Structure 1
Amino acid sequence: MPAAIPAPERLRVPHQSGAASQVRRWLRESLPDLPEEVRDDLLVCATELVSNAVRHARPLPGGDVCVTFELGPADVEVGVIDGGSRTHPHVCAVNLDSAHGRGMFIVSKLSTDWGVRSLGDGTQEVWARIPVR
């Protein structure tokens, strides 16, 4: 019988600006054995994904978003599930002087892959895979 694949870890946080700090604390506590540089990249990506969800997407029923992570042998996948939005997340041309528009650019540079999964009920998950070096 094949070994069971562990389910992703999940945390629901309010759909508001302070959510990213809760997510960073949770990830630090949940993944204490990750190399520091990997954890730093993971925290930056998670912060950007949560911030984008709060800024651009609707909350889930209950007024929150759901953050997940799954630790694999070669990477950590982090995802943010929200209530969907009218726009599709994308990488913008970066202007380093701009206060906005850099989030997915940063995620694309720190991750090996990222994307958007439609969950079929109007919700979506924006995810990124951060390599474990």
Structure 2
Amino acid sequence: MPAAIPAPERLRVPHQSGAASQVRRWLRESLPDLPDEVRDDLLVCATELVSNAVRHARPLPGGDVCVTFELGPSDVEVRVVDGGSRTHPHVCAVNLDSAHGRGMFIVSKLSADWGARSLGDGTQEVWARIPLR
């Protein structure tokens, strides 16, 4: 029997509202051995990053966003690359009555670290590092 082909560590999804569910499914299938609590935190962070890219940024030239992950010895990092936006991702003051604005606050609380940077070609990358506990 041939050896299983490892899951890709990169996924391109359409720049639309269903993108986050595709990314969650891909991460679950790609990282089945993560402890449940780590996987849950990763899925929430990935959902927020992808949702923010769809809501606030332009798509990449192909009409999509690119999501990658890297599993390290002490954490798993998820990165989302989009076509850039006029604003820089930041943590907002949390208002529990607001329907929006809590995404990066959630990411900041679940991750060991996160950040955003312009890639110089008009695109931007936002990432979060989830500790393996």
TM bracket, shorter-chain basis = over 0.9
Q: Describe the shift of the 1:33–1:4 C-alpha distance in structure 2 as closer, same or farther (beyond 3 A).
A: closer
Q: Decide whether the 8 Å contact of 2:8 with 2:30 is kept in 1.
A: no
Q: How far did 1:48 drift?
A: 0.2
TM-score by length of 2: 0.93
What whole-Å deviation, never above 9, does each CA across 1:72-94 have from its counterpart, x for those lacking one? 00000001000000000000000
- What is the SS of the residue equivalent to 1:104? helix
Q: Displacement, 1:9?
A: 1.2
CA distance in 1, matches of 2:3, 2:124: 29
Q: Which moved more, 1:116-125 or 1:42-51?
A: 116-125
* Structure 2 alignment gaps of length 5 or more: none
Shift in Å at residue 117 of structure 1? Answer: 2.3
Query: Are the aligned partners of 2:45 and 2:128 in contact in 1 as well (CA < 8 Å)?
Result: yes
The CA RMSD measured in Å over matched residues stands at 4.3
**Partners of 1:15 and 1:54 within 8 A in 2:** yes
TM-score in terms of structure 1 length: 0.93
CA contact (8 A) 1:20 1:46 kept: yes
Contact 2:70 2:76 in 1 (8 A): yes
After alignment, is 123-132 or 111-120 more displaced? 111-120
Asked if the contact 1:7/1:70 (under 8 Å) is kept, the reply is: no
Contact 1:114 1:127 (8 Å CA) reproduced:
yes
Tell me how far apart the structure 1 counterparts of residues 124 and 4 of structure 2 sit (CA, whole Å).
26
Structure 1 residues 31-89: Cα deviation after superposition (integer angstroms, max 9, x where no partner): 00000000000000000000000000000001000001000000000010000000000
Moved more, 93-102 or 2-11: 2-11
1:68-87, aligned counterparts within 5 Å? Answer: 68-87=68-87
Structure 1 residue 102 displacement after superposition: 0.2
Equivalent residue pairs, number: 133
Please say if residues 66 and 81 of structure 2, whose CA atoms lie closer than 8 Å, have aligned partners that are also in contact: yes
2:120 is paired with a residue whose SS is coil
Q: Any gaps of 5 or more consecutive residues in structure 1?
A: none
Contact 1:91 1:104 in 2 (8 A): yes
Where does structure 1 differ by over 6 angstroms across 4 or more consecutive aligned residues? 1-8
Q: Distance in 2 between matches of 1:77 and 1:2?
A: 30
Range with greater deviation from structure 2 (44-53 or 109-118): 109-118
Change (3 A) 1:131 1:86: same
